[in-house]
Amino acid sequence: MTETVTGNDRPGRPTLGVGMVGYAFMGAVHSQAWRTAGAFFDLPCAPAMTALCGRDQAAVTAAAAKMGWASVETDWKQLVTRDDIQLVDVCTPGDSHAEIAIAALEAGKHVLCEKPLANTVAEAESMVEAAVAAEARGVRSMVAFNYRRVPAVALARRLVADGRIGTVRHVRAQYLQDWIVDPEFPLVWRLRKEKAGSGALGDIGAHIIDLAQYVAGSTITGVSGLLDTFVRERPLPEASSGLAASGGSGTGEVTVDDAALFLARFGSGALGSFEATRFATGRKNAMRLEVNGSEGSLAFDFESMNELSFYDGHEDPDTAGFRRILVTEPTHPYADAWWPPGHGLGYEHTFTHEVVDLVTAIGTDQAPRPSFADGLQVQQVLAAVERSADGGSGWEQVAG
């Protein structure tokens, strides 16, 4: 880390040069996080948006100017060798996560990698191996499960850890979207297995797997699942890169799942049910989690992301019921850095919190979570669901 600091940075605080690969949806929200984190949180080092990387020179230059990056690269291999970059943020499709992250770690760069960690268990295992070797040299890595950083979710985890709902018995998790209900929606990269690894299962199912395990404080050990693809042919994108021989005309095969359902057992003995779909008509980003314990329950819905429902089983039955907690008090996770009580946060704040936790871990020489090993464990659950679905919904043990 270099010692140059300017503007509103605290004097003497080291600068953490950040290079990001990818500048689409995830790149935009990650950029917002890097711009914001140091302005609201007292960080041990100052993130500097040093370089943005993308293959199209004109497009990446425009994105860098819009999102606040100081320079651009068109080859990620050049990015990871730059002396002014200490951290590489990987926001690309899953098929390139392993190659970029491993190269960055081997070059001595800290790494933040979008979820799911990889497209296969084998790739994730190689990433964990590189992360373990890098950690021995003081190089840190983290997988970007941003929903852990919703204040209400972090509060739910705290309540479970404090024993407020007793022994966890049931976990119910849903992630419902409708963005590909229209059969004329084009065959984007997220619908191609060679790019995305899987469909709703890996893209949004990975989120609720991580979320459920995080809040419950236990990992999934076995699953039984179903996968289905409702629209198997879609129009090729007009400007796709190599999908069609002439101008993107015609259709192509959807090679991932549209919907995933599975049952699960946790190491603690709790039972779980999971649903991830892009075909829940009318649902835009409905991520829900309910945890039932021997002494109480918790429920969270991302469409009301500043709220947590809590049931205390010790209350008088005459007045007992689910209590609405508005998670905006300064005593709540992350909330004291933001607005007065009652002034809610949004989706983008989860990524800011993610950056804050990572930079704090790096600056204080701590291991950030979720680690690449945590990402591998989620990948192993995804693989077990796929094996179960391929084999006719039989029970599959989760490797590891």
Burial classification of residue 1, based on how many CB atoms lie within 10 Å of its CB (0-12 exposed, 13-18 middle, 19 or more buried): middle
> Which residue blocks in the chain are alpha helix, DSSP H?
25-40, 57-67, 76-79, 97-106, 121-135, 151-161, 193-196, 200, 206-216, 347-363, 372-390
Closest C-alpha among 115, 256, 253, 261 to residue 198: 256
45-66: pLDDT as tens digits = 999 999 999 999 999 999 999 9
Crossing angle of the two packed helices 347-363 and 25-40, in degrees rounded to 10: 60
Residues of the chain within CATH 3.30.360.10 domain(s) are 149-345+371-390
pLDDT(299) > 50: yes
pLDDT(329) > 50: yes
Give me the pLDDT at residue 11, please: 66
Give me the pLDDT at residue 241, please: 45
Read off the pLDDT of each residue in 178-184 and give the average, rounded to a whole number: 96
What pairs with residue 310 in β-bridges? 298, 323
Q: Nearest 10 degrees: CA dihedral of 240, 243, 246, 249?
A: -80
81-125: pLDDT as tens digits = 999 999 999 999 999 999 999 999 999 999 999 999 999 999 999
What pairs with residue 46 in β-bridges? 15
Give me the pLDDT at residue 394, please: 85
3-state secondary structure of 252: strand
Q: Nearest 10 degrees: CA dihedral of 330, 335, 340, 344?
A: -140
Read off the pLDDT of each residue in 189-211 and give the average, rounded to a whole number: 96
Please count the CA atoms within 13 angstroms of the CA of 359 that sit on its side-chain side. Answer: 27
Residues of the chain within CATH 3.40.50.720 domain(s) are 15-146
Rounded to whole angstroms, the maximal C-alpha distance in the chain is 70
Angle at 303 between CA 160 and CA 92, to 5 degrees: 90
The band of 10, judged by pLDDT with boundaries at 50, 70 and 90, is low
Give me the pLDDT at residue 249, please: 65
**Cα dihedral sign, 249-253-257-258:** positive
> What CA–CA distance (Å, rounded) separates 335 from 151?
7
238-268: pLDDT as tens digits = 744 444 444 446 999 999 999 999 999 999 9
β 233-235/251-253 pair status = antiparallel
> What CA–CA distance (Å, rounded) separates 133 from 321?
50
User: What percentage of residues in the chain have a pLDDT greater than 70?
Assistant: 94
Q: What is the mean pLDDT of the chain?
A: 94
CATH class belonging to 149-345+371-390: alpha beta
Point out the least confidently predicted range of 6-15, 222-231, 353-362, 377-386.
6-15
Give me the pLDDT at residue 391, please: 83
The band of 393, judged by pLDDT with boundaries at 50, 70 and 90, is low
Q: Which pTM was predicted?
A: 0.93
Crossing angle of the two packed helices 206-216 and 372-390, in degrees rounded to 10: 120
The band of 374, judged by pLDDT with boundaries at 50, 70 and 90, is very high
134-145: pLDDT as tens digits = 999 999 999 999
The CATH code of domain 15-146 reads 3.40.50.720
